């Protein structure tokens, strides 16, 4: 009836407003996160690295030094490791830019977390993406590194279109975590071989 039509029109208006609001808010500060859906997703990947946790943490803790990430040409950063303050800009080889804010940095627990500030679903079909990287010791003195993320699918409302659904987001972020871990492993293990005589068991 009339009611139904007006409700449909109202909903459409709301959707348009929400989309517009999201566009307007697409340049958030380090503390402002974009609109997202109601069901966060989780991806946890690990890798073993043949180096002591201290050596791995020396690389992983350097928030402004992640030039070893796949696809990254260089990194510009504010230099420090103060959560909610320090930021970095990954200048990608394809010309793109990924900006991230440090959320957590814990030397004692060998863990840090960072949030991707501007969502770009063309680069990564996930939004409001936060990573945690943690270095843990194995029983034989090597390291187990965990890269885990909390994020939402690319579409911030119900009924996502293809390519912006949960499955796509989960697959992309999981692949990214695996690639990042492999790059970290290569970086640490090659760095170690360059320093003669250091045997890590």
Checking phi first, is residue 79 left (phi over 0); if not, alpha (psi -120 to 50) or beta?
A: left
Nearer to other proteins among residue 43 and residue 61 (C-beta): 43
Residue 179 to residue 174: CA distance in whole angstroms:
9
Binding status of residue 84 toward other proteins by CB under 8 A: yes
Site residues for other proteins, 40-59, by CB under 8 A, read 40-42
Sequence-distant (≥ 6) Cβ neighbours of residue 168 within 8 angstroms:
125, 153, 154, 162
Q: Which contacts of 66-71 are long-range, i.e. CB under 8 A and separated by 24 or more positions? A: 66/90, 68/183, 68/184, 68/186, 68/187, 69/180, 69/183, 70/179, 70/180, 70/183
For residues 111 and 135, is the Cβ–Cβ distance under 8 A? Answer: yes
* Options 35, 47, 179, 183; binder of other proteins; rule CB under 8 A: 35
* Options 3, 5, 140, 158; binder of other proteins; rule CB under 8 A: 158
* Options 8, 9, 18, 85; binder of other proteins; rule CB under 8 A: 18
Nearer to other proteins among residue 132 and residue 178 (C-beta): 132
Residues that contact other proteins, how many (by CB under 8 A): 24
For residues 115 and 100, is the Cβ–Cβ distance under 8 A? Answer: yes
Smallest gap from residue 64 Cβ to other proteins (A): 20
Binding status of residue 16 toward other proteins by CB under 8 A: no
Smallest gap from residue 20 Cβ to other proteins (A): 12
Sequence-distant (≥ 6) Cβ neighbours of residue 82 within 8 angstroms:
102, 105
- Contact region for other proteins (CB under 8 A) — 39-47, 93-101, 119-127, 184-192? 39-47
The residues of the shown chain that bind other proteins, judged by CB under 8 A, are 11, 14, 18, 21, 31-33, 35, 37-42, 83-84, 103-104, 113, 132, 148, 150, 157-158
């Amino acid at each position: 009836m009339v009611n139904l039509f007006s409700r449909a029109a109202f909903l459409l208006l709301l959707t348009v407003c929400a989309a517009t609001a999201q566009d307007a808010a697409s340049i958030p500060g380090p503390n402002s996160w974009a609109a997202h859906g109601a069901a966060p997703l989780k991806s946890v990947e690990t890798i073993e690295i043949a180096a002591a946790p201290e050596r791995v943490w020396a690389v992983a803790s350097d928030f402004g030094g992640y030039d070893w990430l796949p696809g990254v040409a260089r990194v510009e950063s504010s230099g420090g490791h103060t959560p909610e303050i320090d930021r970095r800009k990954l200048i990608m080889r394809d010309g793109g830019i990924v900006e991230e804010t440090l959320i957590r940095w814990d030397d004692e627990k060998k863990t840090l977390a960072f949030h991707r500030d501007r969502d770009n679903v063309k680069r990564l079909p996930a939004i409001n993406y936060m990573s945690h990287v943690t270095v843990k010791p194995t029983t034989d003195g090597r390291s187990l590194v965990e890269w885990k993320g909390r994020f939402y699918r690319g579409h911030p409302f119900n009924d996502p279109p293809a390519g912006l659904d949960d499955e796509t987001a989960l697959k992309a972020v999981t692949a990214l975590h695996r690639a990042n871990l492999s790059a970290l492993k290569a970086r640490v293990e090659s760095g170690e071989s360059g320093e003669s005589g250091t045997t890590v068991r």
